[in-house]
Structures are given as structure tokens and as C-alpha cells.
Amino acid sequence: MKSKQTSFDIAYRAGVSQSTVSRALRNSPLVNEETRRRVQEIAAELNYKVDKNASSLRTQQSGTIALLLFEDPTNDDSLINPFFLSMLGSITRASAKKGYDLLVSFQQMSNDWHADFEDTRKADGIILLGYGDYTDYEEKLVQLIKQETHFVRWGADVKGLSVVSVGCDNFHGGYQVTEHVINKNRKNFAFLGGVTTGSPEFLDRYKGHCQALKDNNLAVDSKLQIDAVSTDESGYLAAKQLLENGVTFDAICAASDLIAIGAMRAVQEAGYNIPKDIAVVGFDDIATASSTFPAMTTAKQDTVLAGELLVDKLLQLVRGEEAQTQLMPTTLVVRKSCGS
Amino acid sequence: MKSKQTSFDIAYRAGVSQSTVSRALRNSPLVNEETRRRVQEIAAELNYKVDKNASSLRTQQSGTIALLLFEDPTNDDSLINPFFLSMLGSITRASAKKGYDLLVSFQQMSNDWHADFEDTRKADGIILLGYGDYTDYEEKLVQLIKQETHFVRWGADVKGLSVVSVGCDNFHGGYQVTEHVINKNRKNFAFLGGVTTGSPEFLDRYKGHCQALKDNNLAVDSKLQIDAVSTDESGYLAAKQLLENGVTFDAICAASDLIAIGAMRAVQEAGYNIPKDIAVVGFDDIATASSTFPAMTTAKQDTVLAGELLVDKLLQLVRGEEAQTQLMPTTLVVRKSCGS
DNA sequence: CTGAAAGCGCTTACAG
DNA sequence: CTGAAAGCGCTTACAG
């Protein structure tokens, strides 16, 4: 039971050639029904498994997908954004469903991605996932394209480059949540989240937010927009700053749930009631959103669907087919944080 | 730039043999400084990367770790327990730090694990992670041992089998949280969580819980122990059942944060105030625990440390060294759900 | 339907 | 310090 079994061992016991073993194990139609059964039986008995390295080397395809999770270097080293964690989970599930293994690796945005292209050798394709400054990011995409790597990415559509993306309709999502709060009779809206071109998702949400305000004849006050990255700490700080500004507001639209959670804490600590004094909406619908107090109203990004789309499209690319960028709709999840 | 480069291409351009290229790229001391530099330069220029399949096949080691996440089949198909998600994150980080790739795969407990042993071929070792009925689980361990697979697991120590485990001191953790609540002058304790030998973690927490009660001359009432699996829905249902029992209680110890979250909802819906009427403690310290209302007091399991220990020990095994089972202490995280 | 043989791209004794 | 050569364990034309 000790030393590693090879197809030759199976062949010997089955009394056939090694080629036949290989065929039988891959269910080749070329092999006799009875022979196949016998070979498979013996293989199972000896607990033999095909060596993937050898077979990948031979066929030049690995049956694995690489997931590159990259992060904003400003983030805490030890924590992963729960939204991405949930994407990770659904991608794992989706690739398992397709019979692919998933190789996961972390990457600091600042790193030399050359090291990662290495994964190309171990994987048939790559899924890119993460926030980070978009400007850095773009050159890496160009490089991936130049290398003819099969890859898809999570995020806003990329103008110019021919990259397959799956993302949410952030503009619409921003519009949607803002409109919902407007319908709760709020007039003065703050927005928490960085709105540079470096983070196109947040920017789009902000644009949707502003559009909803305009469509309802409400003012957009730039003093009420405070930059924040997607952590609750950053949201807390941003909300505190907002409070200190002295500008009045009765609603906060946060660019992410994490930001919203931090903001809720700051607002409550300052003695305000949510939603009576201040309504708060998030974006993402991470697991925590349903457990905050009050439970958070937010725009849900469907991570399960996202994971499936990402691997489906990647696999299309791997098979040499065309694949299209796709924008998923967000759905409004109404809970308590904007009133009932 | 199109077709795949091999070490022969590099050799040709560098004017050396393919063997020398291989040596230069692996920083073999055998190769001349100047030659090495030249080869590496050319390799970088052509964006050449060693084919891992070939090199793994040749060296018989893959430089990758497989993570097997298995789940209770009763769980919702699409969601992953946030505690495990966070473990997944820290394991990914820890293995990256050691220069290992991480192959992630999901497994239903009920499945034939033969399929997974396949991973043995792609990975140097396996990390086992998940809840599930322990009795099923045990045979799989026996099989892994028989196959001399390098593996470590997360969880309670296994009596009898020589398996390397990393887990928390669940008994102590259960004791710790219960004692804390006792100090808040509570007298009648409910425990939510299944306490069969099928889930040794919960059982140990319960035992610690009971011990703390006994040490403080408090009664253990079996009517106040309700089975639950680790989901908030199950916690909600268990707490409702508890409420309907009509037995009075002023504290709930939940076997996990998820259960506690569901229980808090049920209790609050029934019109009770937390912590005034009923104190609630959880176990795990998942991200959500700090955002519940009131914020949850719980026993923290350090997932970052756990991830590191798990990969360290696995790597020891891979290198042929001894590795020891290790129990980590839990730490009490005091928030608001038991009063201040 | 089956077997003998080539070859995937490396690593590493072996000989110099 | 360098090169020629064997071999890791498969898959798949090729020939029968």
C-alpha cells in the first residue's frame, strides 16, 4: 500500500497494456466494455489515481482555474473584505460544479505580477478579483492580454481594453438605494466613499446617487461627500468628519456595507437615532448587513450568480469561444435602517 | 510572443545547454554567476516561467497545499459558514507566506472521498476543515492515514488515531463565557447547540459550560439545552422552542455566534431586552459579532493563528518531521450582550 | 478493440 | 562550472 501506484501497476494486474489502462480510465469509447470495467475495478481497489501533473503535462491543460485576489495595500494585513470572501466562496463552488479545481492566491497590488503569470502554467485561466487603485491595475491587464492569457475579472467594465468583466450595475444600484431613501422623505444626503477614477465602482455608485438626487430636484452638496475606503474603520472616521463639518443631513448613502457599518456606529455614538434622525443605506449586502441594528437596507450584489458567471465566461474563453462582459442588476434589500 | 516558451528556447538564446538554464533558474550554486545572470535576464525578457507540471512531475512535489472544506449537507447549498470562510482566508494567507499555492475544494460530507485523494497528486499535503457528523468523518481519517497522506485537520483532538489537529480549547472556552455571564448575576442558563458525539466541538463547549455552572453551584437543567446546528436560522428556531418551553431563564450560551445571532432575533421579537432580561453569549467571534445589537460578547477563536499553525504543521509533516496536535486558547471578547 | 512508442518540459545524477 | 542523457507518469497518434 505504500509506494505510489502507476498506470503500469494497474496494467500488470489487469493483464493489459498501460495504454489500455489509460483509455479505460478516461472512459474512451475505444476500449472494450468488459476490459474497462475490470481496469476500473482494479484501479479503485488499489486506490489508484491518475497523476495530474503527468496528465496535465501531456495534454497541456490543467483542469484548474486560478483565482487572484488582490487587495488595496492600505488594508489590514490579516483581514479579507467579507464581500470578497463571499465571492471566493461562490467561485469555489462554481468551479467545483464545472469539475475544475481552484487555485487561490493573494496578491498585493503593488507586487510584481510576473510571479503570478506563473499560475498560467498551473491553470487554464485566471479570475481577477479585488479593489485597488485602478490605474496600477490597468497595466497588468494590458500585460495579461499581450500574453494571451485567458482571464476574466470582477468589476466595472473597462473602456478601451478588450477584457471580459462581470460586475454589478453600480450606477443603477446607487440610483436605486438613493431613490428609496428619497421616498422616505429625506432631503439632505451625505455620501461616504472615495469617488476617484481609481475606484470606478464607488464612482459609479456616486454618479447614480447624484443622478437620483437631481431627478428629484434635490441638491448635491460636495461638502457632504467624504472619501472612505471599504472598511468599517474608514466609514467610522468619515462619518465623524461629516458630523464635525456641521452641515446638516438626514441620510447617509455609503459606498459599501462596511462603510455603512462604521458610519452607523459613529452616528449612534453621537446620539442620533437610526433611522429616525438619520437614514443609512449600504451597498453589497454582506452577511453582517442583516445583523446590524437596525438591520441595514442595502443594494445586494448577487455573489452566487457572480461566481457562476465568472467561471462560465472564463471557461468559454478557455474553450476558445467568445465571451461577453456582463452587468448584473443589483437588488434593493429593504430592512430597517431607513425607516419602515 | 505567442507560442509557449520552453527552457530550450532560453538555452538557445543564452548559448548554453538546457540543463544550465534549469540550474540557473533554480539558483543552483553550481552555475557561474555571470551565466546565471544572463539566463535569468533572458528568461525575464521572454517572460518565461518554468512549467510547474513538468517540474512537479519530475521532482514529485507540487509546492501546493490542498484545502478540503467539507460541510454538513443540511446546510444551505450556497452559503459558507463565515467562520470557515475566515479560516479559508487565513489559510490562504499563511500558505502564500510559505510560498505554497492553495488548492481549494468543497466536499459534501456524504460524498465519496476517493475523488479527493486525487488531490494528493496535485498537492503535497491536505488540510481538512469543516463541521459534519464526526462518525462519518472518522473513517475517512483512517483511510487517509492508511494511504500515508500528509494531512492536518482543524478541530477537536481525535482519541485513538494518530492525527495532527489544531483546534481551540472548546471546554475552556465554554467555561470562560459561562463564567463571565455568571459574574453578571445570571442564574438560569440555557444552552443552544447540538451536544452529540457527532459534533465534538459543541459537546466540549457544553461540557465547559456545565462545569462552570457546577463550580458556581448553579443547576444544569436539561430542559434548557436545545439542539441547533451552526446557522442563525437554527439558532432562531431553537430559541423559539426554548421560549415556548415555558422554563424561565436569564441567560443563553450559544454554541456558535451564528446560533447566538438567531437566538437574539427570536428573543427580541418576543419582546425581551438583551441584556437586561436575557444575556446572550456566542462562540467564534465572526466579523458579524461586533455589529449585532447589542454587540455580542463571545469567545474568540483566533483564525489567523489557526491558519498559520495548520500550514506550519502540515509543512512539517511534508518535510518528514514530527508535528504535534495543538490546542489554542480562546479569548473572551466582552461587548454588550451580557450587560456592562 | 489493443499495444508499442513518442513526447509533454522539466530536474538531476553522471561524466567531464 | 557545463553538457548529454535518462526519466518523472501520463496521453494519443500510429499500426495492427
Ordered domains of chain B (ranges, CATH):
7-59 (1.10.260.40), 64-168+302-328 (3.40.50.2300), 170-301 (3.40.50.2300)
Of the candidates A163, A161, A179, the one whose C-alpha atom is nearest the C-alpha of residue A171 is A179
Note the pLDDT of residue A114: 46
Partner residue facing A121 (CB), from B53, B104, B121: B53
Q: Is the bond leading into B29 cis (omega within 30 degrees of zero)?
A: no
Residues near B98 by beta carbon (within 8 Å), at least 6 away in sequence: B311, B312, B315
pLDDT digits (tens, 9 = 90+) for A100-151: 888 888 776 545 554 555 555 678 889 998 766 666 777 778 877 877 788 9
Partner residue facing B117 (CB), from A49, A69, A232: A49
- pLDDT band per the 50, 70, 90 thresholds, residue B112: low
Would you call A270 helix, strand, or coil by DSSP?
coil
In whole angstroms, C5 C1' to A47 CA is: 27
Question: Which residues 32-51 of chain B have a CB within 8 Å of chain A?
Answer: 44, 47, 49-51
Residues near B185 by beta carbon (within 8 Å), at least 6 away in sequence: none
Question: Which residues 78-107 of chain B have a CB within 8 Å of chain A?
Answer: 78-80, 82, 85-86, 88-90, 92-93, 96, 101-106
Question: Which residues 176-195 of chain A have a CB within 8 Å of chain B?
Answer: none
Q: What is the mean pLDDT of residues B49-73?
A: 83
pLDDT digits (tens, 9 = 90+) for B237-256: 999 999 998 899 999 999 99
Percentage of the residues of chain B whose pLDDT score is greater than 70: 90
CA–CA distance, B120 with B109 (Å, rounded to integer):
18
Query: How far is Cα of residue A44 from the mean position of the Cα atoms in its chain?
Result: 38
Indicate whether B123 pLDDT > 70. Answer: yes
Give the predicted TM-score (pTM) of the model.
0.85
Task: Write out chain B residues lying below 8 Å of A85, CB-based.
Answer: 82, 85-86, 88-89
DSSP secondary-structure letter at A163?
-
Instruction: For the sheet with B151-154, list strands across it.
Output: A326-328, A164-168, A151-154, A125-129, A64-71, A101-108, B101-108, B64-71, B125-129, B151-154, B164-168, B326-328
- pLDDT band per the 50, 70, 90 thresholds, residue B282: very high
Task: Write out chain B residues lying below 8 Å of A102, CB-based.
Answer: 103-105
Burial track A311-322 (b if 16+ CB lie within 10 A, e otherwise): bbbbbbbbeeee
Partner residue facing A261 (CB), from B148, B232, B291: B291
Task: Write out chain A residues lying below 8 Å of B92, CB-based.
Answer: 69, 104-106
In whole angstroms, D2 C1' to B40 CA is: 17
Instruction: For the sheet with A297-300, list strands across it.
Output: A225-226, A189-192, A251-254, A279-284, A297-300, A331-333
Task: Write out chain A residues lying below 8 Å of B105, CB-based.
Answer: 92, 96, 101-102
Radius of gyration for chain A, computed over Cα atoms and rounded to the nearest angstrom: 25
User: Which residue matches cell numbers 431613490?
Assistant: A179
Residues near A4 by beta carbon (within 8 Å), at least 6 away in sequence: none
Instruction: Mark yes or no for CB contact B2/A148 under 8 Å.
Output: yes
- The overall average pLDDT reported for chain B is 87
Say yes or no: B199 contacts chain A, CB-CB below 8 A: no
Cβ < 7 Å from strand D, A residues 302-331: none
Length of chain B: 340
CA–CA distance, B76 with B79 (Å, rounded to integer):
6
The C-alpha cell at A229 is 475606503
- Distances in Å between the Cα of B146 and the Cα atoms of B117, B159, B311 are 12, 17, 21
In whole angstroms, C13 C1' to A41 CA is: 38
